[in-house]
Amino acid sequence: MTRLSDASLGLLAPSVGRPDYDRSAVSIGIVHLGLGAFHRAHLAAYVDACLSKTPEWGICGVSLRSPATRDGLAPQDGLYTMGVQSAAGLEPRVLGALKDLVVAPDDPAKLIACLASPDVKIVSLTVTEKGYCRDPATGRLDATHPDIVHDVACGADAESGYPRSAIGWLWAGLVARRAAGLGPFTILCCDNLPSNGATVRQVLLDYAGLKDPDLVAWAEEALACPSTMVDRIVPATQDADKAEIAKHIGLEDAWPVLTEPFSQFVVEDHFPLARPPWDAHGVTMARDVEPFEKMKLRMLNGSHSTLAYLGQLAGDETVADTMAEAPFRTLIHDLMTEEVMPTLTMPDGVDLPAYRDALLHRFSNPALRHRTYQIAMDGSQKLPQRLLGTVRDRLAGGHSFDRLALGVAAWMRFATGRREGSGEPYTVQDPMAERFADLAAAARVPVGGEGAFDAKRLAEGFFGLRAVFGEDLPRDDRFTASVVRALERLCQDGARATIAYYAG
Ligand code: CS2
């Protein structure tokens, strides 16, 4: 089968959407760090839509570590298929916004040159929560992170070495531009962090303080880091998806993405150099993004994590599998309605019950195989903004939060790395996974097999993770008691019975 590329675009099945612009006229205005599936179905799609009128906004896509995406996309000239999946079937569209591809460790000098190009006005990022090397509880730079220690010690050249972290690269690019007399690019964080613009700005300023203290005042003045709310469910692509896409488009595509019909992008309109005309293409440009971010992190991502941990414990492979079970649906509906929605203050025109119902519908999309295991990754980096901020607001108001506490307890039980019943081990993917394994070992009980834990001891061990829970929550008896109650039930009765109890 012929491979997708510029040369083979004319062979695409007639119904397949494709670039409506001359790709040879596209130049690079955006450098994007983190070329995962989410970026390719979200920001890259919004950029693609602008290129016929404003071809100066093409993207140079950068992988900070793995060459896999470049190796998949380079033979395709950066083209790939975005397949939109709904109950009605699969709708494929070929996107052409990725004009160049760089793997940072393979071509560091090219990356510096790209970041320092006068044509580049925006550097966007999807490097996941842990990619910011921050302390999740405080949002400040983790100066002890091995990549940060490395980056602070190296320069950004062949002799002294190049950065490893996204933060190190951003700073190297900013400094190179300053030396060339260019203004800083705008930094567009597209990750699910609280106040994501302010967060990346603070982390960069902390880094500058370690690396180039003389430049901190300049950076404080010069950095533009608009906040964003990004939303689209984009599961990791599976091999079977590639075969399905090939059937639809009539060409081989080694690196497609599959996603849902829904997509939302709310962006704080603060771009000192320039930005694409996104507002003409479905992006909401706003003065204040924070209420939208908070709504999305607490409603969507908070529910997602709760479903992922409970789903993993109950043996449900996908989010849609969990939603096919009435007790899961009731639990998540009530978690949002009773415990999350009262903590949100939204601008006029935002209908929270309708937002909740749309989420329940999206989670139930049977065509989208979004694995609970994928969402369960990196819980230590996700829990604070997804569940714990809501818990703090509920505590401050003296209100109940038992379903949120069940989500936290399910994370702890999942993080033991041992299945319910059989005690069979599985891999927990998290920067703190080694700590979790120690805590689980310390809370194992002698009878009942490898999967039997003393719930109180397990919870107490996890409460000691200050980077997750901060100083305040472990000291609040209302919080600890509610989590311990939920964890006791999970450990004694198993996930399914516990969900039925909480949904009852
Ligand atoms: C998910 C998100 O993997 C996860 O943690 O909760 O990637 C989620 O699908 C997106 O934020 C949806 O916009």
- Tell me, what's the pLDDT at 448? 83
Q: How far apart are CA 449 and CA 131, in angstroms?
A: 36
pLDDT value at 449 more than 90: no
pLDDT value at 258 more than 90: yes
258 phi and psi angles, rounded to 5 deg? -115, 140
**Which ligand 1 atom sits closest to the C-alpha of 234?**
9
- Minimum mean pLDDT range among 354-358, 444-448, 458-462, 469-473: 444-448
Provide the residue type at 56 as one letter: E
- Tell me, what's the pLDDT at 475? 98
For the segment 420-447, the average pLDDT, to the nearest whole number, is 96
**Which ligand 1 atom sits closest to the C-alpha of 375?**
3
- Tell me, what's the pLDDT at 458? 98
Using DSSP's 3-state secondary structure scheme, residue 160 falls into coil
With a CB cutoff of 8 Å and minimum separation 6, the contacts of 384 are: 136, 137, 194, 468, 470
For the segment 305-319, the average pLDDT, to the nearest whole number, is 98
For the segment 427-443, the average pLDDT, to the nearest whole number, is 98
Ligand 1 and 60: CB distance under 6 A: no
pLDDT value at 450 more than 90: no
pLDDT value at 447 more than 90: no
139 falls in which pLDDT band (50, 70, 90)? very high
Bridge pairing between strands 80-86 and 89-95:
antiparallel
**Greatest CA span in the chain, whole angstroms?**
69
436 close to 417: Cβ distance less than 8 angstroms: yes
For the segment 24-46, the average pLDDT, to the nearest whole number, is 98
285 phi and psi angles, rounded to 5 deg? -90, 125
DSSP 8-state assignment for residue 287: S
Q: Going by CA atoms, what residue is nearest to atom 5 of ligand 1?
A: 375
- Counting residues of the chain whose pLDDT is more than 90, the rounded percentage is 98
Ligand 1 and 375: CB distance under 6 A: yes
Ligand 1 and 5: CB distance under 6 A: no
pLDDT value at 390 more than 90: yes
Q: How far apart are CA 442 and CA 426, in angstroms?
A: 18
**For the chain, what percentages of helix, strand and coil (3-state, to nearest 5) are there?**
50, 15, 35
Q: What is the pLDDT of residues 78-106, one digit of tens each?
A: 999 999 999 899 999 999 999 999 999 99
With a CB cutoff of 8 Å and minimum separation 6, the contacts of 349 are: none
For the segment 168-197, the average pLDDT, to the nearest whole number, is 97
**Which ligand 1 atom sits closest to the C-alpha of 374?**
3
DSSP string, 147-188: HHHHHHH--SBTTTB---SHHHHHHHHHHHHHHTTPPPPEEE
pLDDT value at 435 more than 90: yes
Tokens at 155, concatenated = 């320069």
pLDDT value at 437 more than 90: yes
Question: How wide is the angle at C-alpha 81 spanned by C-alphas 75 and 86, nearest 5°?
Answer: 160
Using DSSP's 3-state secondary structure scheme, residue 77 falls into coil
